[in-house]
């Protein structure tokens, strides 16, 4: 995929999670109810921080953005993260039955991260890295 397009997709997702994560944080602070602070933390860290960093990393490794793995990484991550966050929120709210969903979706997140790792590792010498002379 075009590096710029892919990177911006990750940035758009990151900014969306930033709004939700900060909104959740303000709600927790205002209400004094911190029961779901782990969900807040992971909205911000898996969402805002990791997605923003991913968008930047694809710019550093354009060969990885061009890889067939890049769309799989994007969609698996984008589908599994909200499912996992919702399931974890339910578990922390007392619905223990959501545990397997949290577990399964976290494995999908892991798979998508492994695809990202492999896309970067296998393309590390192509694109901007080579242009940069390294």
Binding interface with ligand HEM (CB under 6 A) = 21-22, 25-26, 28-29, 34, 37-38, 40-42, 44-46, 48-50, 106, 109-110
How many Å apart are CA 31 and CA 25, to the nearest integer?
A: 10
At closest approach, how far in Å is the CB of 15 from ligand HEM? 12
Two tokens at 47? 């969402």
CB environment 64-90: b (16+ within 10 A), e (fewer): bbbbebbeebbebbeebbebbbebbbb
Confirm if 65 and 58 have CB atoms less than 8 A apart: yes
Residue showing the smallest CB distance to ligand HEM in the complex:
25
Residue 7 or 44 having the CB closest to ligand HEM: 44
- CB 70 → ligand HEM: shortest distance, Å? 19
């Amino acid at each position: 995929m075009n590096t710029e397009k892919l990177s911006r997709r990750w940035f758009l997702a990151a900014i969306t999670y930033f709004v939700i994560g900060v909104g959740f944080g303000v709600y927790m602070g205002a209400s004094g109810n911190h029961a779901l602070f782990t969900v807040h933390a992971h909205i911000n860290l898996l969402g805002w921080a990791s997605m923003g960093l991913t968008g930047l990393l694809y710019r550093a490794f354009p060969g990885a953005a061009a890889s067939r793995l890049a769309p799989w990484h994007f969609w698996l991550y984008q589908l599994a993260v909200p499912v996992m966050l919702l399931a974890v929120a339910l578990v922390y709210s007392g619905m223990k039955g959501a545990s397997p969903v949290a577990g399964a979706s976290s494995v999908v997140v892991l798979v998508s991260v492994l695809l990202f790792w492999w896309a970067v590792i296998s393309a590390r010498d192509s694109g901007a890295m080579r242009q940069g002379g390294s």
